[in-house]
Structure 1
Amino acid sequence: METSVSPSPIVPGAWPLLGHVPRLAPDPLAFFHRLSDHGSVVRIRLGNRPAYVVTRPDLVRRLHLADQRLFDKGGPLIEKSRLFLGNGLATCPAADHARQRPLMQPAFHSTQLARYTGIMQECVAEVTGSWQPGQVIGLNEEMHRITAKVTSRTLISAVEARPAAAQMARALPEILRGLYWRMVIPGSLFPRIPLPVNRRFDRQMRLTRHVLDQVVSHYRATTTDYGDLLSMVITACEEEADPQQAIYDQVVTILMGGVETTAATLVWLLRLLDSHPHIRQRLMAEITGTLGGRPPGHSDLPHLPYTQQVITETVRLYPAGWIVSRSTTADVHWSEGHIPADSDVFYSPYALHRDPELFPDPEAFVPDRWSPEQVTPAQRQAFFGFGVGRRKCIGDVFGVTEATIAVAAIVGSWHLEHAGPVTDRPLIGTLLMAPPTRMRVQRAVHA
């Protein structure tokens, strides 16, 4: 505990009744980015409810590591996310997480990832195999197709259940859109209003639950060991008080993490390559030099370091999880500011990744900042693209592996360039998404 404790400064500009919402709503990314000007731990108001924002990377690490017992999964973002994700790994409290994570970890062991890379390569080839030179594609939709196929097939390998897995993946965008509006509009009235966004949300939630229940029943009724993620999830959840609910919670968590976050990263990355041709050329040189025109495999991953630097830099600039919330379990006495028990606490990886003291020229796309020769320990510790500590994303290696396979396959064979107006303004929702992007595809020309 710190011996000298000062109150957390209040960010100016709050409105009566509405608090800082009128300043936050038009541009949440800019709002959270500016908060570091007011202190390391600052207080804002969301309506009449106070909330605290941590703006320094070292304090975020302290929150997750040294003082993790004082901060649990909670706050309005988590509470609303539980409408869809239930009590899965991404949203469960610490006590449940300590029990769940060891049970789920085998599904993401390195030996399993080696098996998954073949599926990843197959899915990328299926999607890009339909492209024709000169064709204009919807990049967001095509990357979603890739990650939905990968996640569906690694999660549910039974051929007869693949259509069900694809159905669940297609339901995700509408569910996430409905969740976002429930997060930003306080109170219990909004979900009851028969708006199109609410009707679509309710319909897709019912569909996802119905389809998954059918698939789980099929898996339990057969003696076949499919050796896929769902089989391992079913085994891990058998001792839970409500196994069916526990399975549902973990499966939809895997779906959201595996489909939406990786798709968003791939869209941003391919957009960035089009506006940075020198980086694209260097990336292609590594890919062609390593693969020689063949599809990427698991054994190639250690030989694609620049590819992985490009992915890391993309996630630094555009982390899918742009805002993170916690709830304090007791009074927090830091010299940088006091946070009372039962308070909502936020931090923004998007803002933290733009600290100019840690990341010079923070808005620039510079993959070399992650090279072994240039990256500093402070930069590594200020990167929160996949979380940190015990709550670090269980699928982080899966996601990076999938992105590496996809980038190597796409950039090694195709040249993508924007076909139409370009805007870099992200779409703010439950996750940070790229705006709709149309790109023309041509066969890659190798030097």
Structure 2
Amino acid sequence: MTIPSSDRASSAVPKAPGALPLLGHLRQLLSDPTRFLTSLPAHGDLVEIRLGPRRTYVVCSPELVSQVLLTGHRDFDKGGPFFENIAVFFGDGLATCPNAKHTRLRRLTQPAFHPGKLVDYAALAGREISAVTATWREGQVLDVYPVMQELALRITVSTMFASWFTGQDSGAGQVEETLREVDTLVSGAFLRMAAPGLAGLPLPTNRRFEQARRSLYARIDATVAAYRRDGIDHGDLLSMLLTRGEEGASLTDAEIREQVMTMFIAGIGTTAAMLAWTLHHLSLDEELDASVADEVREVCGGATTRHEHLPRLETLSAVVAESFRITPAAWLFSRTTVTATELGGHSVPAGSDILISPYILHHRPDLFPDPGRFDPGRWIGGEQSWVKAERALTMIPFGTGSRKCIGRDFSVNNITLALATLLGDWRLTPANTSPVTISGRSIIEPRGLKLRLTRRHEASEA
């Protein structure tokens, strides 16, 4: 809430230790981001860190998350180091636009995510998942994250714009090029957030960043133009975005490009990271993996997993929920204060950067006992459920409030559908002894994850 200056709290915001001159806490954030972030709640519910010379306030409790994202919504707007940098290529997409634009864009975009449309999207995604897993072979070792990136790209493309990979330039070459462009943007956005002074320098990384942005923009614009010309409903998300809403209202081509770019990057990144992390967690627990496979076979009967199967995959749903808790793909997002504000008993000036980390909340031991342990049982047979945890703001992988990710169910459905399809047929086990490490960029990703494929006997006998 905004309060008169005479009544504002005056206690100093606790500062995280270890800041270096000029660099601030960049070394800790870049070298071991999750360890650094989970250390912050010990200093308070609101902690000051430095990104270079830039002062940033990190929110560490559900109560303050509620104030920033719910009750004090008007005092905080999209902005801060994270969104300022991804907005370079997202534009005014739903994830980055200011509050003043959000209501209109949300209203025009929401029909594309109607529950009825999710059934159609699941059918499109299912074909891509089956096509990719059909190429897998017994004993093959997967470099899991790149493989999941390609699978996520194909799922995202099939559900968003079915004609993207058609024509003379379709095939593996375009898939690889698109993934390189997405990877360049994801990497560049995080570096610009952590070290904003680099953005304006004539560096090779900045040139690659700009080239990737222009290339994806051009491809999206060409696809939108083609859809407008042929006037055909392809049954995909882009067709829905082109549909006029109430009273003839519609998105402009520029707005469609920004929404598509947002959903495209977020869809690929979140889906790939969460698929890879979930496979990693299951590869370390043979009993849990077998339980998931048994459930999939019982629910789906050996057939291709479909949308109507998803509500009955209770064990797999709990595994996905726990994966989103322990390794949330979207691990950082930010706001900026519109006016001078009181937050957690501290005065926060107007124009301040506020950083919110789902990873911090998800790893607080007072909210989730033994938070570093992967335990889907947290979500099975007890009072705790993902929905309740989201309402309590202890679990916020998709944010909350009016700015909660519009694609939450779309993303979770695609991830669950993909896992059910591949886990029904394949057991994935660690292929080496090297540790899997966390790569903290705009999306938290696994590095060094190599898994060996073993076909399940029941599937091969069928």
Q: TM-score, normalised by structure 1?
A: 0.93
More moved, 347-356 vs 377-386: 377-386
1:363 aligns with 2:372: yes
For the 8 Å contact 1:168–1:211, the answer to whether it is kept is no
1:118 is displaced (CA, Å) by 1.1
For the 8 Å contact 2:15–2:49, the answer to whether it is kept is yes
What amino acid is aligned across from residue 426 of structure 1 in structure 2? I
1:434 is displaced (CA, Å) by 0.9
Match of 2:78 in 1: 73
Distance 1:158 1:148 in 2: 13
Evaluate the alpha carbon distance shift between residue 136 and residue 371 of structure 1 in structure 2; reply closer, same or farther with a 3 A threshold.
Answer: same
For the 8 Å contact 1:40–1:336, the answer to whether it is kept is no
Alignment of 1:29-428 (within 5 A): 29-158=34-163, 161=166, 166=175, 168=178, 171-187=181-197, 191-193=201-203, 195=204, 197-235=205-243, 243-375=252-384, 377=388, 381=392, 382-428=394-440
Q: Deviations over 1:160-184 (max 9, x none)?
A: 7476785645521122122222222
What amino acid is aligned across from residue 64 of structure 1 in structure 2? L
For the 8 Å contact 2:80–2:353, the answer to whether it is kept is yes
1:334 is displaced (CA, Å) by 3.5
1:259 is displaced (CA, Å) by 1.0
Residue aligned with 1:338, SS: strand
Distance 1:190 1:199 in 2: 10
Evaluate the alpha carbon distance shift between residue 178 and residue 17 of structure 1 in structure 2; reply closer, same or farther with a 3 A threshold.
Answer: closer
Distance 1:11 1:305 in 2: 41
Distance 1:158 1:25 in 2: 39
Q: Deviations over 1:312-364 (max 9, x none)?
A: 10010111111111001112224532211110001211111011111011000
For the 8 Å contact 2:184–2:212, the answer to whether it is kept is yes
For the 8 Å contact 2:80–2:335, the answer to whether it is kept is yes
Q: Deviations over 1:62-89 (max 9, x none)?
A: 2111111111110111111011111100
For the 8 Å contact 2:40–2:60, the answer to whether it is kept is yes
Distance 1:415 1:427 in 2: 25
RMSD value, Cα: 2.3
Distance 1:409 1:400 in 2: 14
1:446 is displaced (CA, Å) by 4.2
Structure 2, unaligned stretches of length 5 or more?
Answer: none
Structure 1, unaligned stretches of length 5 or more?
Answer: none
Aligned residues with identical type, % of pairs: 36
Evaluate the alpha carbon distance shift between residue 300 and residue 96 of structure 1 in structure 2; reply closer, same or farther with a 3 A threshold.
Answer: same
For the 8 Å contact 2:157–2:164, the answer to whether it is kept is no
Residue aligned with 2:355, SS: strand
What amino acid is aligned across from residue 390 of structure 1 in structure 2? S
For the 8 Å contact 1:152–1:169, the answer to whether it is kept is no
1:200 is displaced (CA, Å) by 2.9
Match of 1:432 in 2: 444
1:13 aligns with 2:14: no
For the 8 Å contact 1:358–1:379, the answer to whether it is kept is no
What amino acid is aligned across from residue 159 of structure 2 in structure 1? T
Evaluate the alpha carbon distance shift between residue 380 and residue 270 of structure 1 in structure 2; reply closer, same or farther with a 3 A threshold.
Answer: farther
More moved, 176-185 vs 267-276: 176-185
Distance 2:343 2:70 in 1: 14
1:113 is displaced (CA, Å) by 0.4
Residue aligned with 2:329, SS: coil
**Aligned length in residues:** 444
For the 8 Å contact 1:427–1:434, the answer to whether it is kept is yes
